Amino acid sequence: MSNKLALDILERSGWTGAEAALGVAITELADISLWWAAPLALSLASAKSWVAGRLGRKGTASTLPESKDPATPPGVGGGATYAQ
pLDDT interval class at 75 (50, 70, 90): low
Q: Please answer whether residues 15 and 1 qualify as being in contact, where contact means their C-beta atoms are separated by less than 8 angstroms.
A: no
In a domain? residue 82: no
Model confidence pLDDT, tens digit, residues 37-73: 999 999 999 999 888 888 777 777 788 777 777 777 6
**CA pair distance 30, 33, nearest whole angstrom:** 9
Q: Model pTM greater than 0.75? A: no
Residue 5: is it exposed, middle or buried by C-beta count within 10 angstroms (0-12/13-18/19+)?
middle
pLDDT in tens, 4-26: 788 888 988 999 999 999 999 99
Question: Domain limits at 18?
Answer: 1-77
pLDDT at 59: 73
Q: What do you get for the CA distance between the two ends of the chain, in Å?
A: 8
**Does 83 fall in a domain?**
no
Q: How many domains does the chain have?
A: 1
78 vs 42, higher pLDDT: 42
Domain assignment present for 84 = no
